[in-house]
């Protein structure tokens, strides 16, 4: 009995020591929200976990800061309001925009983007005037959604996932989809026989900038910016662009 007790005790002590010596459990955790339906920036990987450029970038930032990153997949629409309560930050191909700036702070921008217009190959939509009075698919609460809302006479259909808007385009339920350039290219590529993606510059859309959203007034903004600068300096950032973004083009 005594021997059994000693063995058990030894095992428990080993476990405790392992936990204390391992990184997990001792590092500060940064809970980061994303919407893993926006390739190549975020998507669900083969192992069922969020993956993509943004996920790799925030993990690299976590490493620089000595923090453990915990990614939470949620609806894009919920991200901004969840910052400071459910999540500590959001990385989701999120464009810096006036409305969002009222409730969150952004890191330095890390990627330039623009909205693209996905159409069926034989579509008559070629420029800004052609969008008037059309039925337009967008991802809910995104900058593409805001642009579509301003188009004269347009009927805007919003979806939780961009890919669902693209499916409705193929099924003839919308005339086009307005969504960010890189996801537009990934989605178009999947149905290359049916779809084509037009550069938003043809529609006079403005350039956008992606950044990491953080709680207003948080001291994390400066830390994240420093980590971003370090990752640019040491080549990690460019390597991730090559691996995740250029690879997808």
Task: Tell me which residues touch ligand GLN (CB under 6 A).
Answer: 35, 38, 76, 92-95, 139, 142-143, 180, 208
If the CB atoms of residues 109 and 215 are measured against ligand GLN, the closer one turns out to be 109
Cis peptide before 188 (omega within 30 of 0): no
Residues 6+ apart with CB under 8 A from 112: 207, 208, 209, 210
What gap in Å lies between CA 132 and CA 175, rounded to an integer?
Answer: 11
Least distance from ligand GLN to the Cβ atom of residue 181, Å: 10
If the CB atoms of residues 65 and 212 are measured against ligand GLN, the closer one turns out to be 212
What does each C-alpha distance from 7 to 17, 18, 20 come to in angstroms? 15, 16, 20
Least distance from ligand GLN to the Cβ atom of residue 141, Å: 7
If the CB atoms of residues 7 and 207 are measured against ligand GLN, the closer one turns out to be 207
Least distance from ligand GLN to the Cβ atom of residue 183, Å: 7
DSSP 201: G
Phi (first) and psi of residue 186, to 5 degrees:
-65, -45
Give me the residue whose beta carbon is nearest to ligand GLN.
142
| Tokens encoding 139 | 């991802």
What gap in Å lies between CA 176 and CA 162, rounded to an integer?
Answer: 12
Cβ neighbour number for residue 44 with a 10 Å cutoff: 14
If the CB atoms of residues 142 and 225 are measured against ligand GLN, the closer one turns out to be 142
Characterize the bridge pairing of strands 155-159 and 135-139.
Answer: parallel
Least distance from ligand GLN to the Cβ atom of residue 97, Å: 7
If the CB atoms of residues 54 and 88 are measured against ligand GLN, the closer one turns out to be 54
What does each C-alpha distance from 223 to 213, 219, 231 come to in angstroms? 13, 7, 12
Least distance from ligand GLN to the Cβ atom of residue 246, Å: 19
Residues 6+ apart with CB under 8 A from 75: 35, 140, 160
Least distance from ligand GLN to the Cβ atom of residue 99, Å: 10
If the CB atoms of residues 31 and 140 are measured against ligand GLN, the closer one turns out to be 140
């Amino acid at each position: 009995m005594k021997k059994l007790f000693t063995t058990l005790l030894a095992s428990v002590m080993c476990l405790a020591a392992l936990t204390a010596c391992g990184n997990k459990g001792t590092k500060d955790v940064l809970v980061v929200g994303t919407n893993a339906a926006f390739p190549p920036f975020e998507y669900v990987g083969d192992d069922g976990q969020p993956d993509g450029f943004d996920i790799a970038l925030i993990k690299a930032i976590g490493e620089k800061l000595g923090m453990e990153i915990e990614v939470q997949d949620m609806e894009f629409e919920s991200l901004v309001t969840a910052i400071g309560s459910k999540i500590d930050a959001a990385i989701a191909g999120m464009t810096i925009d006036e409305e969002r700036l009222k409730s969150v702070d952004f890191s330095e921008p890390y990627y330039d983007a623009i909205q693209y217009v996905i159409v069926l190959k034989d579509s008559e939509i070629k420029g800004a005037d052609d969008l008037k009075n059309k039925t337009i698919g967008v991802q809910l609460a995104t900058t593409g959604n805001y642009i579509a809302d301003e188009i004269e006479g347009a009927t805007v259909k919003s979806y939780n996932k961009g890919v669902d808007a693209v499916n409705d385009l193929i099924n003839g339920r919308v005339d086009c989809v307005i969504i960010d350039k890189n996801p537009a290219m990934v989605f178009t590529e999947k149905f290359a026989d049916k779809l084509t993606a037009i550069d938003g510059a043809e529609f006079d859309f403005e350039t956008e900038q992606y950044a990491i959203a953080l709680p207003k007034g948080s001291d994390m903004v400066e830390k994240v910016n420093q980590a971003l600068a370090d990752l640019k300096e040491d080549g990690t950032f460019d390597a991730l662009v090559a691996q995740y973004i250029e690879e997808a083009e």
